[in-house]
A = this chain, B = another copy of it.
C-alpha cells in the first residue's frame, strides 16, 4: 500500500530551535520532505533560489496566488510569503510526510484547508531560556531582542489551536518525539476509512467457506 503522506506544520517561537530540529529530523529519516516557501523579498547573501526560498517577483507571486497554486500566503513587512501547492501535494502523493515551517496565521489557514494536517508548536522550556539563546547568538542587541520577545508574545495568537506542543529542552529527544508523533499520525482513523468500510462489508458477507 502506497500510503498518502502526512502534512505537518511546524511553528514556534523564534529561538525555539526549529531550524536545527528540522535539519536533524531530515538527516535521520528519509521519509520527510521539507516544503520550500516562495517569497517576493530579495535573496540575502548566501541564500540560493530553490534552497532557502523560491525568490519571485511580485507579479509572479500574485499569478501563483490568483491561480490558487498556494496552500497559504501572507504579507510581512511589504513582502509576500507563501507555500506552493504543487510540491506539497506531489510529495504527499508519493507517500512523503511533508513539513511546512510557517507562521501561526498561515498554519491556521492550512488546517482549514487540510483538516488532517498535524500542527506542531515548538517552544523553549521557558521565556528566560529563549532569551538566553537569542543573546547567545550574539547577532542582535539586547534592545532588539527584548522587542523581538514582546513581538513573539503578540504573534502567539492561535498557538492554542496547535495539536501538540513540543518543548525543545533536549534536541535529540525532541527530534525523536517529533518523528514518533508524525509516524503515529498515520494511524489516524480518518486515513483508514476505506479499510474500515471494507472490514465492515466483509463481516457481513463472510460465508461458511471463509
Q: Give A residues with C-beta under 8 Å from B.
A: 13, 121, 123, 126-128, 130-131, 142, 146, 149-150, 152-153, 156, 159-166, 177, 180-181, 184, 187-190, 192-193, 195-196, 199-204, 206-208, 210
Contacts and interface: CB of A to CB of B under 8 A. Distances in A.
B159 A128 contact: no
Given A177-B184, A180-B180, A210-B128, A189 B163 contact: yes
Given A162-B189, A165-B189, A165-B196, 12 more contacts: A123-B199, A127-B199, A127-B203, A128-B210, A146-B206, A149-B203, A149-B204, A161-B189, A163-B189, A164-B184, A165-B187, A177-B184
Given A153-B200, A153-B203, A184-B177, A164 B146 contact: no
Nearest to A191: B165
A189 B206 contact: no
A208 B146 contact: yes
Given A180-B180, A199-B127, A192 B165 contact: yes
Copies in the complex: 2
Contacts of A166: 187
Given A184-B184, A203-B149, A193 B160 contact: yes
Given A121-B189, A184-B184, A187-B164, A202 B127 contact: yes
11 contacts: A13-B203, A123-B199, A127-B199, A127-B202, A131-B210, A149-B204, A150-B203, A160-B193, A162-B189, A164-B189, A166-B187
B165 A195 contact: yes
Pick the 4 closest A-B CB pairs, nearest first. Answer: A127-B202, A153-B203, A164-B187, A149-B203
A208 B207 CA distance: 76
A37 B85 CA distance: 49
